[in-house]
Structure 1
Amino acid sequence: MSYSPRSRTVMSCSLLVASVAAGATACSGGPDGHPLSAKPYDAASQITFNGTAGTAKANPEKPLEIIARSKDGRITDVTAADAAGRYVAGELSADGAWWHSIAPLAAGARYTVKVSTEDEDGAPGLRMLTFETAPAKRGLKVSFGPEPGKYGVGQPVTAKLNAPVKGAAARAVVERGLKVSSSPAVEGSWHWVDSKTLHFRPKDFWPANASVKVRSNLDGIKVANKLYGAPAKPLEISIGDRIEAITDAGSHQMTVKRNGKVINTIPVTTGKPGFSTRNGVKVVLGKEYFVRMRGTSIGIPAGSADSYDLPVYYATRVTLSGEYVHAAPWSVGSQGAANVSHGCTGMSTSNAEWFYDTVRQGDIVRVVNSEGETMAPFGNGFGDWNLPWNKWRRGSALMAGTSDGRSPVDAARLRPEV
């Protein structure tokens, strides 16, 4: 970026530090003899800077300053960038006598600074400076989820932090550094679940057969007081067909679609009064061929009328608290006609086996027309899709900000509900 003599404010874009490196050589003038056609002279004697020399590491908390030594010359431009290509924002005084950074430097980074000058005759000068910043003493680590693999269109991306981040400004820094891209491209946003957890989801579900890449650019970036981003392992996942199971608790039928086309209709039973199945969109969390389900795990006293202790097969989990879609051979007579379960969606063994073999983690299970409440967005699996898009965006520090000190969501207990 270059500036005319009338332009005195420089805005670079990222981070910096320095130790003097080799500069350019001076030259008398170009073929036409005009000073501006000359190769830049070495401006080492024309400027001073507050960087470090030798093997010393600069303090990333300290701004970088470049000062013109004499009134016979001035600074015309400064650019500073680290080895990752991240530029440092800065300001140049109107008289060209002083430039300073206005954005924090990265910790543990190597910077290159290019200083352009001109003398009283307008001849251009140039000086290149390099330096390194000291590594951070506190690193903010990010772990992305889920594990690499293929998932359904409802699978959110998660980011777990090793330290709490509070305050809209610090959270905005984190969000800017967490990059999610997909092919095909989608509109999406991060949402702060609590001070150490973020979820990313598109406005709508992921496109079928999409590829998703997640990475962090926070390494070395200042997040909060003496807290800097640490390196993070990137994540790549793929998305399969759009599989969506719609359970109508009123008609006692489940309709399963693949890419919008109905592929099966299954008679089911859902939660009876007092144990009504939650409405809303749920995401398949995993599959278990065999689960031992006991009523005591959800607070039903042993020996009571509602007590149970059953071997359950082809169990597809949709909540952390133990809601499944599973085989329920004991209730086949009620399937398609009445709701008699303790919250799970029951079906015949053959239908449960088909469902178990058809769906994968991240697929959508939507319950409608139940007497139960709507599944909470967080704390019991992935109810993320039960937040309307405008409310989801309010959980982003970049979109609408979040309140400080939001209480973490308590993890639900792993309880089977049959």
Structure 2
Amino acid sequence: MPRHSWRGRARIVTALMATGLAATMLAGCNNGDGKASAGSKDDGLGGGKPVPAATVAITPTTGTSKVSPGEPVVVKATGGTLATVSLTNAAGKQVSGTLSADKKTWTSSEKLGYDKKYAVAATATNADGRKTSGKSSFSTVKPGNFTLPYLRNGNGKTYGVGEPVMVHFDEKIPDKAAAEKALKVTTSPSIEGSWSWINDQDVHWRPKTDAGKYWPAGTKVTVAADVYGVNMGKGLWGQEDRKVSFTIGDQIIAKASNKSLHMKIYKNGSVVKDMPFSGGKGGYIQDKYGNNVSLWTPSGTMVVMDLERKVHMTSSSWGIAKNNPQAYDLWVDYGTRLTGDGIYLHAAPWNEGLHGVQNDSHGCINLSTADAEWAYEHLKPGDIVIMSGTPDKVTLTRGYGDWNVSWDQWVKGSALH
């Protein structure tokens, strides 16, 4: 019997092994029905590694209550991309949202309602197309009370360089920091500034400037009160967002001297008018409640609050009895209001001979009819009137007294500093 060499037998074995390996590889590429296996990928070595299923995370999670309607609903996919997202209220109405460019995050773009129930259903797919679903149901907070912000500056208006940004809430605010965070002032050009609380319901914003400086003329201002969905403490929630835009006009500053009894009006740094006047006669009288009432025109920086063609002035409005020798009740023309307690520029033809000579008013700046009319026609809310030389002072709450407070003191009035 012929003997086969070892080498020859090795060749036969090698051929058989190669044939068996080929068969194995073919078997590894087919599951028996001609379809690729779901959930696996060929690793090139005759086996498959499973592709992990995608996961879906929804915020708020199921069962969450007292959700702020101002907070967005967020759906995120990990290990895949979002295929469908549905956010509906109890009535089945769809809430809109946006999908990120990578299709991994969906965020609601529409604010929710207070005291409502919502349901979220989402699906995500992994790299092999296998779907994963996720659901959540939650409810929003039921406020104990609402507060509405009133933006005192008029939309589209033009104001003087002293105009503060003013927001009034119709309820006292327990959490001023939360309310202040919801308020935003945007200016062009960009200007640093700060909010300062005047009381529990009023907050003002003014730019940071050196003493004697105000808004730059031409500044564009936008104020946004994004309070909806904001918890302001003790069950009080923001009722509605508000927004206004206005412009700062030419710089007009009137400077009145108690020494000269003249008021010079400057426009963008140049004198445009010089008016003789009669100011507060000085001293104090008692009102019917026993309080001292000043008869001085207050010194300090006042801001034009309003313009009134005719003003009814009566001493009883500040507590002076009708039988008091200082009592009065009359209508005046061309009123330019400077303080909340009734200091005006106005026409006073009855004492025109004293203008520039002697003080004779109860605190207002008396002008000739012609000069009062000029002021009424040329001044605007936000313009500055500075009085000097009298012992009485303009305070923060006496009209718009914001500019009589140093910057350091102003910032201390912010709930965020």
Tell me the number of residue pairs that the alignment of Structure 1 and Structure 2 aligns. 328
Paired with 2:323 and 2:115, the residues of 1 have a C-alpha distance of 62
User: In the superposition, relative to structure 1, how do residues 386 and 252 fare at CA in structure 2: closer, same or farther (>3 Å)?
Assistant: same
Q: CA deviation at 1:181?
A: 0.7
Q: CA deviation at 1:225?
A: 5.1
The one of 207, 210, 214 equivalent to 1:202 is 207
TM-score, with normalisation over the residues of structure 1? 0.66
**1:211 matched to 2:220:** yes
Q: CA deviation at 1:345?
A: 0.3
Paired with 1:320 and 1:49, the residues of 2 have a C-alpha distance of 49
5 Å matches for 1:2-151?
A: 28=41, 41-43=53-55, 51-52=61-62, 58-60=65-67, 82-84=107-109, 133-138=138-143, 139-148=146-155, 149-151=157-159
- Equivalence for 2:414: 396
| Aligned amino acid, residue 148 of structure 2 | K
- Which structure exhibits the higher relative contact order, with contacts defined as CA atoms closer than 8 Å and separated by 6 or more residues? 1
User: In the superposition, relative to structure 1, how do residues 216 and 297 fare at CA in structure 2: closer, same or farther (>3 Å)?
Assistant: closer
| Aligned amino acid, residue 356 of structure 2 | G
Paired with 1:256 and 1:324, the residues of 2 have a C-alpha distance of 16
Deviation digits for residues 357-406 of structure 1 (CA, Å, limit 9, x no counterpart): 000112111111123x211201x32111111111110010111xxxxxxx
**Equivalent residue of 1:194, what SS?**
coil
| Aligned amino acid, residue 83 of structure 1 | S
Partners of 2:66 and 2:142 within 8 A in 1:
no
TM-score, with normalisation over the residues of structure 2? 0.66
Paired with 2:244 and 2:200, the residues of 1 have a C-alpha distance of 22
- Equivalence for 1:333: 353
RMSD: 4.3
Paired with 1:295 and 1:59, the residues of 2 have a C-alpha distance of 53
| Aligned amino acid, residue 259 of structure 1 | N
User: In the superposition, relative to structure 1, how do residues 331 and 127 fare at CA in structure 2: closer, same or farther (>3 Å)?
Assistant: farther
**Equivalent residue of 2:371, what SS?**
helix
**Identity across aligned pairs (percent)?**
32
- Equivalence for 1:190: 195
- Equivalence for 2:170: 162
Q: Name structure 2 gaps, 5 residues minimum.
A: 1-37, 76-103, 125-129, 284-294
The one of 365, 373, 387 equivalent to 1:367 is 387
Partners of 1:81 and 1:113 within 8 A in 2:
no
User: In the superposition, relative to structure 1, how do residues 133 and 329 fare at CA in structure 2: closer, same or farther (>3 Å)?
Assistant: farther
Deviation digits for residues 242-277 of structure 1 (CA, Å, limit 9, x no counterpart): 111111111111111112221111111111121111
Q: Which has the larger radius of gyration?
A: 2
Q: CA deviation at 1:48?
A: 9.9
5 Å matches for 1:211-290?
A: 211-224=220-233, 226-274=235-283, 275-290=295-310
Moved over 6 A (4+): 47-50, 106-114, 125-128
Per mean C-alpha deviation after superposition, the further-off stretch among 144-153 and 225-234 is: 225-234
Paired with 1:377 and 1:331, the residues of 2 have a C-alpha distance of 31
- Equivalence for 2:31: none
Paired with 1:51 and 1:295, the residues of 2 have a C-alpha distance of 63
Deviation digits for residues 111-148 of structure 1 (CA, Å, limit 9, x no counterpart): 9999x9xxxxxxxx998967575333224432222232
**Equivalent residue of 2:381, what SS?**
coil
Per mean C-alpha deviation after superposition, the further-off stretch among 351-360 and 227-236 is: 227-236
